[in-house]
Chains A and B, each alone.
Chain A
């Protein structure tokens, strides 16, 4: 008599998912690079944001600068480190062959990927929150000295302000979604160098191409579908009318990219040999 496959007997077992989470947490916690990458997310984001804030001036009212976007511009670089963290979360296992043990211990591959996504989300949330709060604090300290004063139409950066809160929380969500995008791509591609090339290409090539395309119609469409251009609309607090896409819709575009990548990765993970 043939026995049913192991995966069937384990359906809807919360303890099973708990084990998967615990295993992924242990791997993330003990892998040498994790803590450094998390620190790098925080450091690069705050450093670039502070540098851009230091370089920016608002000499008069109507200077058109966006203090939230300026302060949080470090996300442009920090997201690359998030992508590295995400790609390594899975392709590190392929690189060392650990994936065979992981899938032997947790044969339900979707559960394994979900556990990885959950741990990654948790890590990026912590690092992203610290990075965003640090960047906003730096902006709050630097920008008033550079003409971002109430007389020029800029109240002090504060999370009590709805649009700044949206920019801050949205930036953390943005980093989480970039992480999931990276995890999905890396699950589908398996090779870390190729995966990071694809993720960074997806993020950075769209804005470069959009800038070069002079046709405003195409430019607008490119900025509406690009994961980075659309997603970062969440940081915009001034001149929202002129934006190609509204903040939350923009973050939705990035979420769709991340969901698509995770779906592709998950499907390939199920149908492929490890």
Chain B
């Protein structure tokens, strides 16, 4: 009788990548501290969003902004001398001067002569006098020449240069159905088309006329880290008003309430064919920072940093515990292809932290906004797609940071070094530039382009508008890189760290 020798049912090596993943998942799953760390990290992210003190700093009037045709919050206040236009037609005007006053910041309620860069005087065709309604306008500005703007976000340049008595500007708007075309001219005879605007659903009877407005004055100091300012006023002088229809009576309206007009100076006067209109406010999208008073949904994600540190500790130990316990010898004996071991670890830690980050960021963004609004804060609106991007992106930042921690843990073979390095390269640049900015804007922007902290750009929801004066700094929520480019910088650092880790893991004795 022959005895069949015992044969192990276990498969012989080399193991496939799926087996490596299974092995690494088992290691992670069975260490209670790491599972607790993932839960604590996730809870920290959600908890910060729901903590008391999550408020905005806006007052009542700036908490409720009108909504423009594109769905964005806008400021829409200006002095408007207008009459109705039924159907098609055109309006022509000569702007002879644009002057203004800006606040003296050292003295309360004192003003001095001056013009803010985006002070506006010109002609406008608007659906109605209610703030936020559709419009197209031709205007001269404080220091950006002639512009054609429509529906708050569109801006096209016309003739450059400032307006004065010796170089007046002629402006014309022509309505043909839903299409409005803007022209400018330096002499009233040679006209150039500046642009066209399509205002879908413009009513048959639109309000047409002259307007002046002047956005708030901003002065920055501390390298744009500190902002002060106040409302400004502008006065435009118009003549040679030409209408393609028989002129009716002109009506004067301070559109948008105009409650903030300094000294109540907004208004108009008419002498023969010359109109003088003084206004304050702006026709533009609302922006955050020095020029705005709301908060972004990124504020609900401040707990990302707490979660990040906890998850990075777990990720670093996931690798360095192998060295501490000499488990690395067993691991590398079982799977001699070392690069694949590291890849498996990166996949497992990345997946786990991504999942934890996704759940907690979703809770933070959804519930955090409710808390903020419940506390009376004005939260800048963000589309559903943007919110999904912020949530998924935050989870991705956490996952990539965890992978970097595994890589640096491999390079340094010490948990403490890995944790310290990751915190120093991700959290510290953020603190220097966004949280407690000590750097001027220029160098701060470079830090946020080059360091792994660039990844937090994925949390930004604000749009920069060149036609709105504001401190577009990282500290007020405007990153130098677009969202996905910022995340790509973080990923590039992860790829670099992983490459170095694989190189060293292969070269060194375990």
Provided the pairs A64-B222, A193-B415 are in contact, do residues A209 and B302 lie with their beta carbons within 8 angstroms? yes
List B352-395 residues whose CB lies under 8 Å from chain A: 377
Residue of B nearest to A218 (CB): B53
**Contact present for A80 and B423 (CB under 8 Å):** yes
**Contact present for A208 and B57 (CB under 8 Å):** no
Query: Is A83 an interface residue when CB atoms closer than 8 A count as contact?
Result: yes
Residues of B within 8 A of A56 (CB): 223, 439-440
**Contact present for A204 and B423 (CB under 8 Å):** yes
User: Which listed residue, A57, A64, A95, touches B440 by the CB 8 Å rule?
Assistant: A57
List A175-220 residues whose CB lies under 8 Å from chain B: 191-197, 200-201, 204-205, 207-219
Query: Is B306 an interface residue when CB atoms closer than 8 A count as contact?
Result: yes
Binds B, one of A70-78, A114-122, A162-170: A70-78
Q: What CA separation (Å) do A264 and B320 show in the bound complex?
A: 27
Binds B, one of A84-92, A128-136, A244-252, A253-261: A84-92
Query: Is A98 an interface residue when CB atoms closer than 8 A count as contact?
Result: no
User: Which listed residue, B53, B417, B419, B435, touches A207 by the CB 8 Å rule?
Assistant: B435
Provided the pairs A211-B434, A214-B377 are in contact, do residues A205 and B416 lie with their beta carbons within 8 angstroms? no
Q: What CA separation (Å) do A200 and B308 show in the bound complex?
A: 12
Residues of B within 8 A of A200 (CB): 309, 419-420, 423, 427
Query: Is A240 an interface residue when CB atoms closer than 8 A count as contact?
Result: no
**Contact present for B324 and A95 (CB under 8 Å):** yes
**Contact present for B55 and A214 (CB under 8 Å):** yes
**Contact present for A205 and B309 (CB under 8 Å):** yes
Secondary structure at the A interface, as helix, strand, loop or mixed, is helix
**Contact present for A194 and B313 (CB under 8 Å):** yes
Interface centre among B377, B423, B475 (most CB of A within 10 A): B423
Residues of A within 8 A of B55 (CB): 213-215, 218
Residue of B nearest to A95 (CB): B324
**Contact present for A197 and B310 (CB under 8 Å):** yes
Query: Is B221 an interface residue when CB atoms closer than 8 A count as contact?
Result: yes
Residues of B within 8 A of A91 (CB): 416
Q: What CA separation (Å) do A83 and B435 show in the bound complex?
A: 21
Residue of A nearest to B37 (CB): A194
List B417-438 residues whose CB lies under 8 Å from chain A: 417-420, 423-424, 427-428, 430-432, 434-436, 438
Q: What CA separation (Å) do A210 and B223 show in the bound complex?
A: 21
**Contact present for B221 and A64 (CB under 8 Å):** yes
Residue of A nearest to B377 (CB): A214
**Contact present for B305 and A204 (CB under 8 Å):** yes
Residues of B within 8 A of A204 (CB): 305, 309, 423, 427-428, 431
Q: What CA separation (Å) do A77 and B420 show in the bound complex?
A: 11
Q: What CA separation (Å) do A76 and B436 show in the bound complex?
A: 11
Residues of B within 8 A of A83 (CB): 420
**Contact present for B443 and A55 (CB under 8 Å):** yes
Provided the pairs A55-B442, A63-B221, A193-B418 are in contact, do residues A208 and B302 lie with their beta carbons within 8 angstroms? yes
Provided the pairs A77-B428, A204-B423, A208-B427 are in contact, do residues A193 and B302 lie with their beta carbons within 8 angstroms? no
**Contact present for A207 and B416 (CB under 8 Å):** no
User: Which listed residue, A76, A192, A197, touches B309 by the CB 8 Å rule?
Assistant: A197
Residues of A within 8 A of B305 (CB): 204-205, 208-209
**Contact present for A207 and B431 (CB under 8 Å):** yes
Residues of B within 8 A of A73 (CB): 438
Provided the pairs A57-B223, A204-B305 are in contact, do residues A52 and B438 lie with their beta carbons within 8 angstroms? yes
Residues of A within 8 A of B420 (CB): 80-81, 83-84, 196, 200
Please list 18 pairs of residues, one from A and one from B, whose beta carbons are closer than 8 Å in the complex, sorted by A's number. Answer: A52-B439, A55-B443, A64-B221, A76-B432, A80-B423, A87-B416, A95-B324, A193-B320, A193-B416, A196-B419, A197-B309, A200-B419, A204-B305, A204-B431, A209-B302, A214-B295, A215-B57, A229-B436
Closest 8 CB pairs of A and B: A193-B415, A218-B53, A212-B302, A197-B313, A211-B435, A192-B416, A55-B443, A215-B55
